[in-house]
Amino acid sequence: MSGQNLMGKSDSSQRIVVWANRALFDRLILGADGEPAGMVDDLELTERDGQLEWTAILCGPTALGPRIGGRIGAFWYAVGRRLRPYDDPSPLRIPLEVVASVSVRDVRLRVEAQELGLTRLRDWVQDKVIDRIPGNGGAR
């Protein structure tokens, strides 16, 4: 992952730091083919050597719902859980190993979004709804 264009600021000790709200949350995720794949809804943190490390991006309604909180967040989480094709409510996980760069504008992946299952809902709507509308012109 390249940190070159990550929106960094210096803290009191003049080290480059990144604030999650400002530079990470709600950033657009783009696949290697440039296709939008989702948004950064949450971050996975893993404890290593007594410290928490950012190890993955989580996205989808089951990641965003808890971050919104309250009744709206619970509703959003429930919608996401119902749309999942299996019982596991875990959000989609993008390990940082497949992230090419992070900037204030977007997150770019080394792989196509389809490989990570990030376009599953969009593909389902395309197959089950849009393709069945007469006169859709085979829009893809």
Partner 1 sequence: MRATDLLGLAVYDADGQLVGHVHDLRFAPPDDGGCLGYRLTALACGDRFTLGHRLGYRDDQMAGPWPMDRLFRRWAARARVVEWQDVVTVSASGIEIRRRRTDLGSALQDTR
Q: According to CB under 8 A, which one of 32, 39, 78, 96 is a site residue for partner 1?
A: 96
Which is closer to partner 1, CB of 54 or CB of 75?
Answer: 54
Q: Is 19 in the site for partner 1 (CB under 8 A)?
A: yes
Residue 34 binds partner 1 (CB under 8 A): no
The three state secondary structure string of 58-98 is EECHHHHHHHHCHHHHHHHHHHHHHHCCCCCCCCEEEEHHH
Buried residues in 54-86 as b, exposed as e (16+ CB within 10 A): eebbbbbbbbbbbeeeeeeeeebbeebeeebee
Cβ 59 vs Cβ 94: under 8 Å: yes
* Distance in Å, CB of 66 to partner 1, minimum: 5
11 binds partner 1 (CB under 8 A): yes
For position 1 contacting partner 1 by CB under 8 A, the verdict is yes
Stretch that binds partner 1, among 38-46, 78-86, 109-117, 123-131 (CB under 8 A): 38-46
Q: Which is nearer to partner 1, 54 or 124 (CB)?
A: 54
The verdict on 44 binding partner 1 (CB under 8 A) reads yes
- Closest contact distance (angstroms) between CB of 107 and partner 1 is 13
Which residues touch 38 (CB under 8 Å, ≥6 apart)? 28, 29, 59, 60, 92, 113, 118
What one-character DSSP code corresponds to residue 132? G
Contacts with partner 1, residue ranges (CB under 8 A): 1-3, 9, 11-12, 15-22, 42-48, 51-54, 58, 63, 66-67, 69, 96-97
